[in-house]
Chains A and B, each alone.
Chain A
Amino acid sequence: EVQLVESGGDLVQPGGSLRLSCAASGFTFSDHYMDWVRQAPGKGLEWVGRIRKKAQSYSTEYAASVTGRFTISRDDSENSLYLQMNSLKIEDTAVYYCVRVYSSSYHDSWGQGTLVTVSS
């Protein structure tokens, strides 16, 4: 069974930093692209970014709203995905989901999410 478990969410001040983690199990993590998707309280879903596999040099894509502030990385030896968030803004407040990408194409499995609150 595919399992994705996010952690690291917290209350942080504007301008601060936070690192989210996603522990994957039940599948060959290194075979899949991985995404982060977020959802602000009471709002819809917003794609944050993607990291590809080793064969694609772990290349990344980001939403314009986070480019230059957020960095996605992965450790295939640890079956883990990360989201480093710097220069956090109030509008980054959201539940952050780790999402598996199937066939290098579409989302198929979601974690339960971790809440990031940016507030002074």
Chain B
Amino acid sequence: DTQMTQSPSSLSASVGDRVTITCRASQGIRNYLAWFQQKPGKAPKSLIYAASNLQSGVPSKFSGSGSGTDFTLTISSLQPEDSATYYCQQYNTYPLTFGGGTKVEIK
């Protein structure tokens, strides 16, 4: 199985900060990488697919990059509504696997 490792596991940042979350795959996954946002008690929301493509309706403050084994999700200007847990996921091979999540809090 392809293991997905996210870092950090949690972070606290101020409104307006630029935030970057890293996701590393245990083997190359080309660009078959997605990012999801989950708020407490809610279903996950799809943010990005194919490493860097925004899902419809997702604000442009979210961006993704990377290929192969190393990927990043960036929030350009953190807002209170961005407080959530973010997950990466590889869909290059079965079984699909998720990272452990990064909890983003507002200072």
Q: Which A residues contact B (CB, under 8 angstroms)?
A: 35, 37, 44-47, 50, 61-64, 97, 102, 105-113
Q: Does B46 lie within 8 Å of A108, measured CB to CB?
A: yes
Q: Which B residues contact A (CB, under 8 angstroms)?
A: 32, 34, 36, 38, 43-46, 49-50, 55, 87, 89, 91, 94-101
Question: Which chain B residue has the least Cβ–Cβ distance from A49?
Answer: B95
Q: How far is the CB of A104 from chain B (nearest CB, A)?
A: 10
Q: Which of A45, A62, A106 contacts B44 (CB under 8 A)?
A: A45
Which 4 pairs of residues, A with B, have the shortest CB-CB distance?
A: A47-B96, A106-B49, A110-B43, A45-B98
Q: Does B87 lie within 8 Å of A106, measured CB to CB?
A: no
- What are some 12 contacts across the A-B interface (CB < 8 A)? A37-B44, A44-B100, A45-B38, A47-B89, A50-B96, A105-B32, A106-B34, A107-B46, A107-B49, A110-B45, A111-B43, A112-B43
Q: Does A46 lie within 8 Å of B46, measured CB to CB?
A: no
Q: Does B94 lie within 8 Å of A107, measured CB to CB?
A: no
Q: Does A110 lie within 8 Å of B87, measured CB to CB?
A: no
Q: Does B89 lie within 8 Å of A46, measured CB to CB?
A: no
Given the complex of chains A and B, what is the CA–CA distance between A115 and B2 in angstroms? 27
Q: Which of B38, B55, B95 contacts A63 (CB under 8 A)?
A: B95
Q: Does B44 lie within 8 Å of A97, measured CB to CB?
A: yes
Given the complex of chains A and B, what is the CA–CA distance between A102 and B98 in angstroms? 18
Given the complex of chains A and B, what is the CA–CA distance between A108 and B91 in angstroms? 12
